[in-house]
């Protein structure tokens, strides 16, 4: 168990400014970090989150201001890269970390078991999934039992099941007295923190609990099917959020909604954003297509009972998937669920063992692939070429020469791509991928690492393409984005375990919340009863037991048995679906 080196704050920052290459990366930061808490730094690329974490870790020195640290404070650091070496085994990582901290030669096996790595100790890190690598990096950071964990984007790009497991581990560590300062772009995660720090362009825009930030949001919100002229708006799912700084006009009173944390952070960013960031709407040229014919339409993607086997392992089992023109479909699944293998088969890059697949009305092949736009998670852009050079290369590859150049608001054509913020790089990747006006778009983690306003702008581009008739297939680990999709297909262990709207996938599953300002004893009681628990906005949540069972555990621990129930989140349902599939059937088949 971690014990704070003092009863006071672990860290106190006053007026901290840090310059990078002569320019302020963070400015005049005030922050207090109490023991046994989670502090979430949120904001888009370039907000200053990583710089602040590196400063707290002692890797950078402030140019102005001061940082007071509790006497004897120890810290564990997990950088955004994870600090994992691909050619070392899991056991060698642990041994290396223990030697670096002058600890006795111990395998650290108990911690590895807690993290689900107990059976992977002799596996090379390069052979681990993304989620397993992140858990290994967290295990390395915890070897010397630090008072403070500094985590830079610990769950970005991690599949939902691994993400839930990482949060379960963090919840247990904080309940045991450890303190966490983390950077994240996932606002559903930030809402679980004791303190949320909203950053933009090196400045702190707001700080407090998620509830306090929501309550302080100026103005009011309405929602509707379209943005309103003269009103700053952004897309959320099938509807638009509209911000009214001076209050909602009477004519729109019925459309008023209460903000969540994402809304409040977007509004805070809008108040400070540049004109280019404020601009809504598409960054790509308008898709010019003939009017859609009435009657049945040929699916852009059609897979029926598709199966793919590699020796005795069934990677995809009898999967059916259809995506129609103008439809946005989310393909969800943990690492190893079979998503990538299925997409390769749909593109004609992987042979089916059984079943049928069609792409744009014909067999997958070079002719149909030429009508597909693809944005990989790694963007597919050349960092050392200019925006214009990347655009010309992509258009030439698809034989697009006569059309006007693809442009993105806020980007100079002569800028090196590597010098652009991540949000603008992702918008550029989308723009060049749609320059040939594809009939099908395949997007792999299209907004990974992007702040909430940049994420909203990217989804406006995606929906504009769909409105013009393009079919869109999205794979994402960020389940809060699933509301942007009209339909979801959830895979686990090679099969489809659920499909339909978000509401249909969640079904009737419920979660239990225990309201508390002191989550440690609640988490400890639930974990001792073998009930998975995680921090939630204003308390502790679990989808692992019903309300009666949770009350029973709380009473046995001498704690108040006040609980509430709510519909499960998509992430909670996703974890349940994955667990149910793992229990039902192995992936080995007879050949």
CATH code, 459: 3.40.50.300
Output the pLDDT for position 378. Answer: 76
* Length reported for the chain: 591
Domain holding 223, by residue range, is 217-277
Residue found by looking up tokens 């971690």 in the block: 2
pLDDT at 234 over 60: yes
Question: How far is 409 from 424, CA to CA, in rounded Å?
Answer: 9
Output the pLDDT for position 273. Answer: 65
In a domain, 584, yes or no: no
Question: How far is 550 from 515, CA to CA, in rounded Å?
Answer: 12
Question: How far is 154 from 131, CA to CA, in rounded Å?
Answer: 9
Q: Are residues 273 and 341 in the same domain?
A: no
- Mark which of 448, 467, 502 sits at the end of a domain: 502
In a domain, 46, yes or no: yes
- Mark which of 277, 293, 310 sits at the end of a domain: 277
pLDDT at 287 over 80: no
Q: Which of 128-142, 333-347, 421-435, 496-510 has the lowest mean pLDDT?
A: 421-435
Burial of 80 (0-12, 13-18, 19+ CB in 10 A): middle
Q: Are residues 237 and 335 in the same domain?
A: no
| Residue predicted with more confidence, 235 or 473 | 473
**pLDDT confidence bin for 198, thresholds 50/70/90:** very high
Can you tell me the mean pLDDT for 92-101?
A: 85
Q: Are residues 459 and 554 in the same domain?
A: no
pLDDT at 278 over 70: no
**pLDDT confidence bin for 329, thresholds 50/70/90:** very high
pLDDT at 585 over 50: no
Q: Are residues 256 and 343 in the same domain?
A: no
- Its pTM stands at 0.82
pLDDT at 172 over 50: yes
Q: Are residues 381 and 483 in the same domain?
A: yes
In a domain, 290, yes or no: no
Nearest partner of 373 among 329, 431, 316, judged by Cα:
431
**pLDDT confidence bin for 107, thresholds 50/70/90:** low
pLDDT at 284 over 50: no
| Residue predicted with more confidence, 527 or 221 | 221
In a domain, 2, yes or no: no
Output the pLDDT for position 281. Answer: 42
**pLDDT confidence bin for 471, thresholds 50/70/90:** very high
In a domain, 435, yes or no: yes
In a domain, 320, yes or no: yes
Edge-to-edge strands, sheet with 11-20: 23-33, 11-20, 64-69
Measured between alpha carbons, how far is residue 205 from residues 48, 260, 266, 527 in Å?
12, 17, 11, 36
Task: Share the mean pLDDT of the chain.
Answer: 83
**pLDDT confidence bin for 404, thresholds 50/70/90:** low
Count up the domains in the chain and report the number: 4
Output the pLDDT for position 365. Answer: 83
**pLDDT confidence bin for 61, thresholds 50/70/90:** very high
pLDDT, tens digit, 9 for 90 and up, residues 110-120: 778 877 788 88
Q: Are residues 339 and 227 in the same domain?
A: no
For residues 487 and 329, is the Cβ–Cβ distance under 8 A? Answer: yes
Output the pLDDT for position 210. Answer: 92
For residues 542 and 531, is the Cβ–Cβ distance under 8 A? Answer: yes
Q: Are residues 153 and 203 in the same domain?
A: yes
Q: Are residues 144 and 247 in the same domain?
A: no
In a domain, 4, yes or no: no
Segment holding 160, helix H or strand E: helix 160-175
pLDDT at 591 over 50: no
Output the pLDDT for position 54. Answer: 92
Tokens describing residue 395: 């258009």
Q: Are residues 249 and 320 in the same domain?
A: no
Can you tell me the mean pLDDT for 283-288?
A: 42
Segment holding 244, helix H or strand E: strand 239-244
Tokens describing residue 386: 């200019």
8-state DSSP, 304: E
Output the pLDDT for position 478. Answer: 79
**pLDDT confidence bin for 83, thresholds 50/70/90:** confident
Question: How far is 316 from 330, CA to CA, in rounded Å?
Answer: 17
Q: Tell me the β-bridge partners of 361.
A: none
Angle made by CA atoms 482, 485, 486, in degrees to the nearest 5: 130
pLDDT at 488 over 90: yes
Can you tell me the mean pLDDT for 161-175?
A: 84
Measured between alpha carbons, how far is residue 400 from residues 374, 395, 436 in Å?
16, 5, 6
Question: How far is 63 from 414, CA to CA, in rounded Å?
Answer: 32
Q: Positive or negative CA dihedral for 137, 140, 142, 148?
A: negative
Tokens describing residue 174: 């904080």
Alpha helices in 22-159 (DSSP H): 49-56, 90-100, 109-114, 130-141
Q: Are residues 313 and 439 in the same domain?
A: yes
Q: Tell me the β-bridge partners of 513.
A: 541, 564
Name 243's Cβ contacts closer than 8 Å, sequence gap at least 6: 219, 220, 221, 231, 232, 233, 266, 267, 270
Output the pLDDT for position 136. Answer: 87
Output the pLDDT for position 543. Answer: 87
**pLDDT confidence bin for 97, thresholds 50/70/90:** confident
- Mark which of 159, 193, 210 sits at the end of a domain: 210
Angle made by CA atoms 401, 404, 405, in degrees to the nearest 5: 85
pLDDT at 342 over 70: yes
Output the pLDDT for position 589. Answer: 43
Q: Are residues 363 and 463 in the same domain?
A: yes
The pLDDT > 70 percentage for the chain reads 89
Can you tell me the mean pLDDT for 445-450?
A: 76
In a domain, 293, yes or no: no
**pLDDT confidence bin for 569, thresholds 50/70/90:** confident
Output the pLDDT for position 390. Answer: 83
Question: How far is 143 from 160, CA to CA, in rounded Å?
Answer: 25
pLDDT, tens digit, 9 for 90 and up, residues 501-548: 888 988 888 899 999 888 888 888 888 888 888 888 778 888 888 899
**pLDDT confidence bin for 285, thresholds 50/70/90:** very low
Tokens describing residue 37: 């808490």
C-beta contacts of 79-82 below 8 A and 24+ residues apart? 79/152, 80/50, 80/152, 80/153, 80/156, 80/183, 82/133, 82/134, 82/136, 82/137
Q: Are residues 315 and 363 in the same domain?
A: yes
């Amino acid at each position: 168990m971690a014990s704070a080196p003092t009863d006071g704050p672990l860290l106190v920052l006053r007026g901290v400014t840090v310059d990078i290459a002569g320019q302020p990366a963070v400015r005049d930061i005030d922050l207090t970090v109490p023991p046994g808490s989670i502090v979430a730094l949120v904001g888009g690329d370039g907000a200053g989150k990583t710089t602040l974490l590196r400063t707290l870790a002692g890797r950078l020195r402030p140019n102005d201001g001061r940082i007071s640290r509790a006497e004897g404070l120890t810290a564990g650091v997990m950088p955004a890269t994870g600090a994992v070496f691909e050619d070392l085994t899991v056991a060698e990582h642990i041994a290396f970390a223990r030697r670096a901290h002058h600890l006795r030669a111990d395998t650290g096996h108990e911690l590895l078991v807690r993290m689900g790595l107990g059976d992977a100790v002799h596996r090379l890190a390069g052979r681990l999934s993304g989620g397993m690598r992140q858990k290994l990096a967290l295990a390395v950071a915890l070897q010397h039992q630090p008072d403070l964990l500094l985590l830079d984007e610990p769950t970005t790009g991690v599949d939902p099941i691994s993400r839930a497991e990482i949060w379960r581990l963090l919840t247990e560590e904080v309940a045991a007295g450890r303190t966490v300062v983390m950077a994240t772009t996932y606002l559903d995660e930030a809402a679980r923190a004791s303190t949320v720090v909203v950053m933009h362009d090196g400045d702190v825009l707001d700080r407090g609990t998620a509830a306090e930030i929501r309550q302080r949001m100026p103005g009011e919100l309405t929602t509707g099917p379209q943005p309103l002229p003269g009103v700053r708006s952004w897309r959320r799912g099938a509807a638009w959020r509209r911000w009214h700084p001076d209050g909602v006009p009477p004519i729109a009173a019925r459309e008023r909604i209460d903000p969540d944390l994402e809304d409040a952070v977007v509004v805070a960013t809008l108040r400070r954003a540049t004109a280019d960031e404020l601009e809504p709407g598409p960054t790509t040229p308008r898709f010019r297509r003939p009017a859609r014919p009435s009657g049945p339409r040929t699916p852009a993607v059609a897979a029926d009972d598709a199966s793919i086997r590699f020796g005795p392992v069934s990677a995809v089992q009898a999967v059916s998937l259809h995506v129609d023109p103008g439809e946005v479909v989310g393909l969800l699944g943990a690492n190893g669920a079979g998503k990538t293998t299925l997409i390769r088969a749909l593109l004609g890059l992987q042979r089916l063992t059984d079943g049928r697949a069609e792409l744009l009305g014909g067999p997958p092949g070079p002719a149909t692939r030429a009508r597909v736009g693809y944005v990989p998670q790694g963007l597919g852009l050349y960092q050392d070429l200019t925006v214009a050079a990347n655009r010309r290369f992509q258009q030439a590859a698809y034989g697009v020469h006569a059309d006007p150049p693809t442009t993105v608001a806020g980007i100079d054509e002569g800028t090196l791509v590597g010098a652009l913020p991540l949000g603008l790089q992702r918008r550029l990747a989308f723009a060049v991928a749609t320059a040939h006006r594809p009939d099908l778009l395949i997007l792999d983690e299209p907004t990974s690492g992007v702040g909430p306003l940049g994420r909203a702008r990217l989804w406006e581009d995606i929906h504009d393409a769909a409105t013009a008739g393009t079919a869109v297939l999205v794979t994402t680990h960020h389940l809060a984005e699933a509301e942007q999709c009209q339909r979801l297909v959830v895979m686990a262990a090679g099969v489809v375990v659920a499909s339909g709207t978000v509401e249909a996938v969640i079904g009737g599953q419920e979660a239990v919340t225990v309201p508390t300002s002191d989550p440690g004893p609640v988490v400890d009681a639930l974990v001792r009863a073998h009930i998975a628990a995680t921090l939630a906005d204003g308390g502790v949540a679990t989808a692992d037991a019903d309300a009666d069972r949770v009350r029973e555990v709380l009473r046995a621990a001498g704690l108040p048995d006040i609980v509430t129930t709510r519909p499960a989140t998509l992430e909670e349902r996703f974890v349940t679906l994955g667990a149910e599939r793992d229990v039902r059937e192995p992936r080995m088949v007879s050949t």
